Amino acid sequence: MKKVGLTALVLSLSTAFMLSTFGSNQELASAKSTKTLRIVTDATYAPFEYMDKGKIVGFDVDIIKAIGKQAGYSVKVENIGWDPIFVELGNKRADAGISSITIDKDRQKTYDFTLPYFLSINEILVPKNSKIKSAKDLKGKVVAVQNATTGQAYAEKILGKKSKNIKKFESNALAIMELVNGGADAVVADNTVVEEYAKNNPTQKLKVISDKSNFQPEFYGVMLPKGSKLKPSLDKAIKAIMDNGTYRKIFKDRFGKEPDMKRLKDEQSK
C-alpha cells in the first residue's frame, strides 16, 4: 500500500508540476505576445490630457487605455508636445496619437484616424465684462489660440489668415494665460476645455460664449500613421467600449454628465 501510495504521489506531483509549468509558459507567451503601443500626446489640454503629480492623466488617457485593453494591447502614453505628435506619426516612430485631435480633411491627407470617440465644438473664452457676444465680434480684437488647431483656423477665418491680432501659442494653457494677463481679448478653443477652465477658476471672472452658427461640431479621433494596420482593431475596440458601457462610465466620471452616444454613433456610421 505504501509503495502504491508513493508512486501515486510522485505521479500526482509530476502532473501538477507539468500543468504548473505549462500554465506558466502560457502566461509568459501571452505576456510576450502582448504588443505595447507607443501613444504620443500633448499633456497641456485639461481635462483631456494633462500632468498631475508627474503622471499623464485625463479623459483621453482613460479612453486610450480602455481602447488598448479591449483590443488586446498594452499602451504607453508619452507627453511630447503638440507639434511633435505630427512629426512622430508622420515618420512612423509612434503607433498612435491621442490629444483632442479633430478629424479633418487636411489631416486625413497625411494621417489615418480611427472612428470618432468625442464630439466637440469651439467656443470663445472672454472676461465677464467683455462685450463680445459672438464670433463676429472678434473682428478687430486680439485673439489667442493654440497653434495648428481648429481654434486657430476659425480665428484666421474671422480675422484673416495673416492678421497680427491672432496670437499663437504652443499650448492652450498659454493662450488662456495671455487672456488672463490682459494680452488678448479672447481665446478660441474647444468647448470642454474653456468651460472647465472657467468653472474651475471662478476668481478669474471669465465667461464662455457659444456660437453654433459660426462654429461647427467637430469629432476627435485617435490619429495614426498613414496606412497603419492598427486601424481595424482600434475601430472595433472603440465600438465595443461604447456598446459595453465602458465609454459612458469614463465620460460620466470625468464630466459628470451623459455623452451624446447617438450623435457619436451616427458619425461613426458615415
> How confident is residue 166, by pLDDT bands cut at 50, 70 and 90?
very high
Residue 28 has pLDDT above 60, yes or no: no
Average pLDDT for residues 147-159, to the nearest whole number? 96
What is the per-residue pLDDT for 33? 59
If we measure between CA atoms, which residue out of 252, 139, 129 comes closest to residue 188?
139
- For the chain, list the domains and their CATH numbers: 34-119+219-261 (3.40.190.10), 122-209 (3.40.190.10)
What is the per-residue pLDDT for 34? 79
Asked if 261 contacts 246 with a C-beta cutoff of 8 angstroms, the reply is: no
What is the per-residue pLDDT for 267? 96
Asked if 115 contacts 268 with a C-beta cutoff of 8 angstroms, the reply is: yes
Q: Which cell numbers in the block locate residue 62?
A: 482613460
Average pLDDT for residues 22-27, to the nearest whole number? 47
- The values of phi and psi at residue 41, to 5°, are -150, 170
pLDDT tens across 68-108, in order? Answer: 999 999 999 999 999 999 999 999 999 999 999 999 999 99
